[in-house]
Amino acid sequence: MPKINRYQDISQIDREAKKDYIDRHSPFVHCEASAKKAQQFKVKVKVGNEYVHPDDFDHFISYVQLWNGEVFLGEAHFTPGTLGNMPGHVEVDFYIVPQKSMKLIAMAYCTKHGLWQSDEVSVDVSE
């Protein structure tokens, strides 16, 4: 199994280089805390919060995935140059139709630094 990296509280890390490295690779899940059952629900996944990621031929975000616990919900693939060969934030909007409460996790794969996992985001689903 490959090593999975996770976001760390960057306020606890002394060196700016570590803060930059961790932040630019970590996916962040952005969505409402509640949803209506059987109605379309938007989930945005953004890679990096403060720091942008390179978009070079040999160093880019290859894919972003969205999971509900162990249930795979979706995936978006990218090629080098998607961001115009300029550093930036990869962002993906997923539209899902929930049936029950969810525990969302995003994964992002950097071609140079491996797989990164977001913090879990809970979404309550009501009738």
CATH value at residue 25:
2.60.40.730
Helix (H) or strand (E) holding 47: strand 41-47
The domain in which residue 120 lies consists of: 4-126
127 has a pLDDT exceeding 80:
yes
Strand partners, 77: 63
* Neighbouring residues of 49: CB distance < 8 A, sequence distance ≥ 6: 23, 26, 28
Predicted confidence at residue 22, as pLDDT, reads 86
**Cα–Cα nearest to 33, from 20, 22, 43:** 43
Is the pLDDT higher at 11 or at 84?
84
User: Torsion angle of alpha carbons 92, 95, 101, 107, nearest 10°?
Assistant: -20
The pTM is what? 0.85
1 has a pLDDT exceeding 70:
no
Q: What share of the chain is helix, strand, coil (3-state, %, to 5)?
A: 10, 50, 40
Predicted confidence at residue 64, as pLDDT, reads 98
From residue 15, give the alpha-carbon distance in Å to each of 6, 18, 118. 17, 6, 21
Write the pLDDT tens digit of every residue in 73-116.
999 999 999 889 999 999 999 999 999 999 999 999 999 999 99
Predicted confidence at residue 10, as pLDDT, reads 54
Angle, vertex CA 43, rays to CA 42 and CA 47, nearest 5? 145
What is the number of structural domains in the chain? 1
